[in-house]
């Protein structure tokens, strides 16, 4: 288990555009174990983390709409983005991280 924290941090820090400041350690793990599987792989069809051009039109629909998409699932994304352990607050923080939304609370 000692290895897990550095590993998660390494995975996420390997994505230089990702700001982890807003996430708790638990949320960072949930993100790494769920969302990143798809959102760091273009082949899955998921809008890439840190790829602002992938998010331009999605961002404009607002955080509540993005949250609904994640909760209900959308296209190739399963309901809750596979994260059964995520609360709404977790998902909101993770959505802001994945989509690169700034300053939203």
Q: What burial letters (b/e) apply to 92-105, b meaning 16+ CB within 10 Å?
A: bbbbbbbbbbeeee
The pattern of x and - marking residues 15 through 54 that bind ligand HEC according to CB under 6 A reads: -------------------xx-xxx----xxxx-------
Q: Please, are residues 13 and 6 in contact by the beta-carbon 8 Å criterion?
A: no
Q: Which stretch binds ligand HEC (CB under 6 A): 1-9, 11-19, 20-28, 80-88?
A: 80-88
Enter the DSSP assignment of 41: -
Applying CB under 6 A, the residues found at the interface with ligand HEC are 34-35, 37-39, 44-47, 58, 61, 65-66, 69-70, 74-78, 81-83, 86, 91, 94-95, 98-99
């Amino acid at each position: 288990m000692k290895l897990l924290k550095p590993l998660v941090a390494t995975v996420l820090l390997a994505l230089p555009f990702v700001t982890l400041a807003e996430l708790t350690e638990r949320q960072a793990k949930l993100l790494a174990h769920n969302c990143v599987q798809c959102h760091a792989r273009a082949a899955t069809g998921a809008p890439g983390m840190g790829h602002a051009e992938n998010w331009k039109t999605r961002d404009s629909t607002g955080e509540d709409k993005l949250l609904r998409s994640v909760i209900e699932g959308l296209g190739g994304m399963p309901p809750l983005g596979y994260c059964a352990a995520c609360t709404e607050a977790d998902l909101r923080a993770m959505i802001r991280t994945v989509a690169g939304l700034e300053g939203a609370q």
